[in-house]
Structure formats: structure tokens, C-alpha cells
Amino acid sequence: MYQIGPAWRDLMGSIAQWQLWAYLGLQDIKLRYRRSVLGPFWITLSMAMTIIGVGILYAKIMNTNMHDYFPFFTVGFLVWNLIASLITDGSMVFINDGAYIRQVPGPLLTYILRSSWRSIIIFFHNFIIFFGVMAYLEIWSGWGYLLALVGLALVTINCAWIALLTGILSARYRDIPQIVQSLISVLFFLTPVIWQSNQLKGRYAFIEYNPFYHFLEVVRAPLLNAPLEPRSWLITGGLAILGWIFALLFFARYRRRIVYWV
């Protein structure tokens, strides 16, 4: 039975409690790096080392111009890590917060928003790397930064409904988180993160019909001053709308069972 009314009120109540999940998401990061000198910047340092090492290596392997490839790989890797974090953390959110769900009545989508906000904070910490690369290469994106923020919002909205679906399924079937992590690992190699789509001789289905490629492009293209593809914006925006409609219907169907599953 679909309880659309309670599901909608849960969504609105979660959004209205933005101060709560924003504070809790920030506290999660503080507690994770308690008594650490660099705090979450340890992630940034590790990410920077990975980007420099892998970026230089693959630029040499693919015989690509470093000035063009390095910003491409940096943005793609940072955005991909955000996508992976939003989805994988979201798939575990109801399981990890099961004790709170059982004891404290409240909107369940608050936990999804908290997890998403935590990933976004870490992403902006890591984005310092991109500014460093662009400053070193003397590249300025101009108005592209504003357009990239719109793209980033669309990516987050899409990953949030995916996290909601996988989170509900994971609460019921505990094998789902492992499946999600495996799929994310495979999709990393099938999506133009390390390699560039123009390096292929033809347009293959795993690029054209890979939504994660379009998720990357709506953020990466504006930042690299690349031509905008309306198709990527339409697909990303359309998936955000259709995905949330389906996810809310799914949530309305199983919302009352989540507390028993966790």
C-alpha cells in the first residue's frame, strides 16, 4: 500500500529540519578526525597524491598533452569520488543509523540528507586541489564556476534518490551494499574519468547511455571551458525528476517497514 501523504510529509519535514542534519553532518566529520592536526584535510592530501601520481602516469601512457589532461582528470576524479561517496554511504545510512531510527521518531529522509551533506563538505575540502591545478596551469573558468554549481546540485539530487532506493533495499537485503560498491568500482572504469571519450574510435553505448558520464559532464565541462552539451543537462535534469518520483513512490510503499528491518 502506497502511503504517499506520510512520505511527502517526511520529505518536507526533513528539509525543514535542515539545521539538524547540517549540524549532524558536520559533527560526523569532526568526530571522525578528532585530535587530528589536519582533520579532514588528510583526505585532501591523500586525494592530491593520488591525482598527481595517477594523472602523470596516465598522461604518459596515453601520450596526452598534460595541460589538457590534468585538469580533465582532476575534475573527473573529484566529482566521481563525490558520486561514489553519496551512493555508497547512502546505501548504508539506514543500517548505520538503525539505533536512532528505532529509538527516536522523526523523518527518515533526514538521515539521507545528513549523509549527503557530509559527502558534500568533504568534496569542497577536496576541491582545493582543482584550484591548485588551475592556478598552476594558469587556467580560469570564469562564469563556468557558477554553471558548475548548478551541475553539482543536479548530481547531488540524482545521487540522493539513488541513495534512498539502495538504502531501503540494503535495510531489507544486507547483500545490497556489497553489490553497490562492486557496481561503482566497475562503472569507474566504464565512465570517462581516467580516459577521455574522444580517444575512442566510435560512440559506444556505455558512454551515450551511461548516466554517470552525463553526471560528470554537467560539472566538468563548465569548469574546463568546454562546449556545453544540452543532452547531458537534459538527461541529468530528467533523471532527477523521474528518479525522485520513483524513489518517493518506493519510499511510500516501504517506509513503515524500515524501522523493523534495521
Could you read off the pLDDT tens digit of each residue along the chain, which spans 262 residues?
Answer: 667 777 888 888 888 888 888 888 888 777 776 665 566 667 778 788 888 888 888 888 877 777 788 889 899 999 999 999 999 998 999 998 878 888 877 788 999 999 999 899 889 888 888 888 887 777 777 777 889 899 999 999 999 999 999 999 999 998 999 999 999 999 998 888 888 877 676 666 667 788 999 999 999 999 888 877 888 899 999 999 999 999 999 999 888 888 888 7
Q: Evaluate whether residue 167 is within a structural domain.
A: yes
Segments of the chain assigned E as strands: none
Report the alpha-carbon distance of residue 262 to residue 257 in Å, rounded: 9
Q: Evaluate whether residue 165 is within a structural domain.
A: yes
Q: Evaluate whether residue 117 is within a structural domain.
A: yes
Residue with the three cell numbers 557530509: 118
In Å, what is the CA distance from 141 to each residue of 145, 165, 223, 243, 246? Answer: 6, 35, 5, 31, 36
Q: Evaluate whether residue 62 is within a structural domain.
A: yes
Q: Evaluate whether residue 106 is within a structural domain.
A: yes
Using a 10 angstrom Cβ sphere, with 0-12 exposed, 13-18 middle and 19 or more buried, the burial of residue 98 is: middle
**Number of helices and strands in the chain (H, E):** 13, 0
pTM for the model stands at 0.90
Report the alpha-carbon distance of residue 240 to residue 218 in Å, rounded: 13
Residue 257's domain comprises 4-28+39-261
Q: Evaluate whether residue 33 is within a structural domain.
A: no
Q: Evaluate whether residue 34 is within a structural domain.
A: no
> How many domains is the chain built from?
1
